[in-house]
């Protein structure tokens, strides 16, 4: 009777089983160290466009601010329509932005040849051409109106001030002042009507620069392009 019991115990804790148990525990420890659990909050932030940049870059957040999906009349607002508006939120230090990349969809470069940019704190524009649907801004409205040379266009509703010389190579997004970027498309003569559901839309592909005090690179490069509502054309 005693002999049978000892045989059963030996069978339960055989050397092979001990080795398997040790290996399982070790594997579980490796998984916890190298593949930590990501909270739902982290996943949601990434899906909403939290930024990631080069290994040595500091990430910052941009937040869409419209516009709502509408149909644009290409004959008003000096022949351009707003496609993008977003806020820039610095991390814990003031930012200097020197590059913004925007791509348009569902319109050729003949239909929308130029992208215009304006900052909420400066009442003037810069414009750059679309090349293969990509517009790259490396120059920006000047904060001091006396420093730039402008082309002024007027109508009964408003004045349009376009910087044509001595634009700024960058602009600041500070902790003390909220900065929004607004980007418009200039319509060509052959722009064709379309419904909003099948309309034209712009996507932000990159917003980057550096931290003002430390000069460390900073980037709002997104996990994927940040796309805005499609716009119809009347």
| pLDDT for 155 | 82
In this structure, the strands spanning 179-186 and 114-119 are: antiparallel
CA distance 228 to 64: 8
Non-local CB neighbours of 97 within 8 Å, separated by 6+ positions: 88, 140, 170, 171, 172, 173, 207, 208, 209
- Report the chain's C-alpha Rg in angstroms: 28
Using one digit for the tens of pLDDT, what is the confidence trace for 13-39? Answer: 566 666 656 566 555 554 344 444 333
pTM of the model: 0.76
Whether 10 shows a pLDDT value over 50: the answer reads no
| Higher-pLDDT residue of 192, 51 | 192
CA distance 91 to 61: 8
Polymer length of the chain: 234
Using one digit for the tens of pLDDT, what is the confidence trace for 218-229? Answer: 999 787 899 999
| pLDDT for 100 | 97
How far from each other are the two terminal CA atoms of the chain, in whole angstroms?
95
Domains of the chain, by residue range, sit at 2-34, 54-233
Per the prediction, the chain carries an average pLDDT of 83
51 touches 220 (CB < 8 A): yes
| pLDDT for 116 | 98
| Higher-pLDDT residue of 154, 105 | 105
Phi/psi for 29 (5° steps) reads -65, -40
What stretch of H or E contains 22?
A: helix 15-34
Non-local CB neighbours of 64 within 8 Å, separated by 6+ positions: 85, 86, 226, 228
| pLDDT for 56 | 74
Whether 177 shows a pLDDT value over 70: the answer reads yes
Whether 103 shows a pLDDT value over 80: the answer reads yes
| pLDDT for 54 | 55
**Confidence at 50, pLDDT banded by 50, 70, 90:** very low
Residue 127: name the closest of 190, 185, 207, 187 by CA: 185
Whether 47 shows a pLDDT value over 70: the answer reads no
Residue 83: name the closest of 41, 55, 112, 122 by CA: 112
| Higher-pLDDT residue of 186, 45 | 186
């Amino acid at each position: 009777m005693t002999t049978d019991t000892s045989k059963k115990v030996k069978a339960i804790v055989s050397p092979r089983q001990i080795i398997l148990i040790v290996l399982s525990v070790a594997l579980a420890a490796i998984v916890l160290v190298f593949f930590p659990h990501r909270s739902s909050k982290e996943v949601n932030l990434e899906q909403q466009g939290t930024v990631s940049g080069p290994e040595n870059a500091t990430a910052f957040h941009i937040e869409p601010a419209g516009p709502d999906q509408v149909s644009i009349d290409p004959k008003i607002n000096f022949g351009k329509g707003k496609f993008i508006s977003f806020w820039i939120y610095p991390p814990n230090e003031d930012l200097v932005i020197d590059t913004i990349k925007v791509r348009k969809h569902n319109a050729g470069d003949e239909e929308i040849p130029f992208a215009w940019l304006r900052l909420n704190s400066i009442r003037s524009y810069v414009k750059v051409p679309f090349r293969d649907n990509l517009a790259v801004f490396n120059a920006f409205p000047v904060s001091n109106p006396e420093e730039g040379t402008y082309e002024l266009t007027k109508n009964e509703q408003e004045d349009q001030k376009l910087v044509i010389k001595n634009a700024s190579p960058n602009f600041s997004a500070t902790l003390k002042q909220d900065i929004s970027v607004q980007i418009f498309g200039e319509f060509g003569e052959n722009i064709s009507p379309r419904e909003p559901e099948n309309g034209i839309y712009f996507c932000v592909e990159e917003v980057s620069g550096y931290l003002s005090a430390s000069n460390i690179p900073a980037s709002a490069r997104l996990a994927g392009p940040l796309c805005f509502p499609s716009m119809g054309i009347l």
